[in-house]
Amino acid sequence: MDFDLTEEHKMIRDMCRSFSQEIIFPRAEEIDRTGEYAYDIISKMAELGMMGIPISEQYGGSGGDWVGMHLCIEEVSRGDPTFGALLDVTTSVVAQELEVFGTEDQKRRWLIPIAKGERIGAFGLTEPDAGSDAASIRTRAMLDGNEWVINGTKQFITNIGLDNASIIIIAAVTKKAVKGRGRISTFIVPKDSPGFVLGKRYEKIGWHGSATHEVIFDDCHVPKDYMLGDSVKGFAQHLSVLQTGRISIAAMAVGAAQTCLSESLRYAGERVQFGKPIGDFQAIQFKLADMSVAIELARNQYLKAAWLKDQGRKHSFEATVAKLFASEMLEKVASDAVQIHGGYGYMAEYPVSRFYKGAKVLQIVEGTSEVMRIILSRELGQGTF
Ligand SMILES: Cc1cc2nc3c(=O)[nH]c(=O)nc-3n(C[C@H](O)[C@H](O)[C@H](O)COP(=O)(O)OP(=O)(O)OC[C@H]3O[C@@H](n4cnc5c(N)ncnc54)[C@H](O)[C@@H]3O)c2cc1C
């Protein structure tokens, strides 16, 4: 067994770590306070090739692997997890779906600019009445001559509100069910399609730098060949990329938790009460020790899942374990980090308060903790052990 990162992995990790420390982290408080989208940071991430790490060179990427991509997501998330979310949706989900299922023409047209980071992608599954039960979506696509006409609403959509977002890949019903459920297919919908309406921007508890919007398709017309992949297997293919998304969420949680730990270590050394640094108290030391254990385990798990994916091996169990464990781990670590900071930890100027506000969402996006447990229970039923 070899747990060492390759030289290329170390290079990606170190480059992303410096970028995160020097460019993202110092701006994170201002971004969260103002809610302004940091286009300058996104452009620099693109220049460094972050959006295309695992995408093949012929489609604008650098031909790396998913371990490298997730090391990048962890490091970027140390500065601010919203940039990890941007990478997760753009690369792990949208770019991958285009690369695996797209036609040559679709890849040239949509994937290359996304892999180069010139344009950003969005993923649309969730609707007002369909979240965990994703197969119950109501957005409808009907063929009218050479065009699909799409009607429906997607909600809580990441990235689509960015000016440089080019497309959203959505799931829509193409055949209504007579009995049971109908047929769901996947479509590439450019933002400038007639009938595409960018809906309200959501006010969230945290993650203010991440663009989360509603999207309405009001007789939205796209050409017939904008269907992505197989018309019958569209739903399965749309869900399949979320498996990689789960590894990305785990990497984001690890990055965020790592900063909670580093900030807590620093603070525990500086803050003096009862005549000594609070880090001299065993109650604080044990919290820090527990944080490091949880982070280490979560990191090993997301790397294992990413490595299995790179080997072309089944990794749904490992990716689900990674997402569930890391997202729940972060909530505890962020809470302990605030506790170690005392009252200061509740103040916006202290980074741990921001990570605490943002922690909960990772247990919800791309499948809730409950859904992760349902998936794991099914895997156990199939004799995983
Ligand atoms: C900031 C943010 C960004 C997002 N970005 C995107 C995006 O880019 N694209 C996208 O498509 N979606 C996005 N989402 C949506 C997200 O994926 C959903 O919110 C999530 O899948 C849960 O769906 P829901 O909110 O409808 O909750 P529901 O499915 O209504 O769940 C409510 C509660 O019931 C539980 N529950 C549901 N079914 C079961 C069951 N069978 N057994 C046990 N418990 C159950 C859930 O676990 C949860 O606790 C985003 C959400 C947020 C908050």
Boundaries of every domain in the chain = 7-120, 122-232, 236-381
d(CA 162, CA 155): 15
Out of 238-242, 269-273, 278-282, 352-356, pick the least confident.
238-242
As a whole number of angstroms, the distance between CA 90 and CA 168 comes to 10
How far, in Å, is the centroid of ligand 1 from the Cα of 345?
29
Nearest Cα residue to atom 31 of ligand 1: 132
Distance 46 CA to ligand 1 centre (A): 29
Min mean pLDDT across 135-144, 175-184, 196-205 is at 175-184
- Distance CA(329)–CA(372), nearest Å, equals 14
Residue identifier of the C-alpha nearest atom 14 of ligand 1: 156
Asked whether 209 and 38 are in contact (CB, 8 A), the reply is yes
**Burial state string for 223-244 with b = 16 or more CB within 10 A and e = fewer than 16:** eeebbbbeeeebbebbbbbbbb
Atom nearest to 132 CA in ligand 1? 29
Could you read off the pLDDT of 290-313 as tens digits, one per residue? 999 999 999 999 999 999 999 999
16 C-alpha to ligand 1 centroid (Å): 30
Q: Structurally, what CATH architecture does the domain formed by 122-232 represent?
A: Beta Barrel (2.40)
Q: How far is CA 72 from each of CA 67, 248, 314, rounded to the nearest angstrom? A: 9, 10, 22
Residue 352's pLDDT band (cuts 50, 70, 90): very high
Closest CA to 287 of 260, 323, 327: 260
Active-site residue 366, yes or no? yes
Atom of ligand 1 nearest to the CA of 374: 42
Q: Which of 99, 366, 370, 379 is catalytic?
A: 366
- 176 confidence band (pLDDT: 50, 70, 90): confident
pLDDT tens profile 370-379: 999 999 999 8
Is the pLDDT confidence value at 180 over 80?
no
Residue whose CB lies within 8 A of the most ligand 1 atoms, among 82, 87, 92, 132, for a mutation test? 132
Q: How far apart are the two ends of the chain, measured CA to CA in Å?
A: 20
pLDDT class of 346 with cuts at 50, 70, 90:
very high
Q: Tell me the two tokens of residue 46.
A: 């693109």
User: Any bridge partners for residue 173, and if so which?
Assistant: 140, 184
Query: Residue 364 has which token pair?
Result: 């919800």
Q: Which residue has the higher pLDDT, 178 or 97?
A: 97
Ligand 1: distance of its center to the CA of 361 in Å? 10
Confidence of residue 75 (pLDDT cuts 50, 70, 90): very high
H-assigned helices in the chain? 7-19, 25-34, 39-47, 66-79, 81-87, 96-101, 104-106, 112-115, 234-270, 282-310, 316-341, 351-359, 369-381
The Å distance, Cα 23 to ligand 1 centre, comes to: 32
Atom 7 (ligand 1): residue with closest C-alpha?
Answer: 157
CATH annotation of 7-120: 1.10.540.10
Mean per-residue pLDDT for 208-234?
Answer: 96
Does 51 score more than 80 pLDDT? yes
Site residues for ligand 1, CB cut-off 6 Å: 89, 123-126, 131-132, 156-158, 204, 207, 212, 361, 364-368, 370-371, 374
Which residue, by CA, sits nearest to atom 23 of ligand 1? 131
User: Taking the complete model, does pTM exceed 0.95, yes or no?
Assistant: yes
**Residue of the CA atom closest to atom 24 of ligand 1:** 131
pLDDT of 68 strictly over 60: yes
Assign a CATH topology to domain 236-381: Butyryl-CoA Dehydrogenase, subunit A; domain 3 (1.20.140)
Q: How far apart (Å, rounded) are the C-alpha atoms in residues 346 and 354?
A: 9
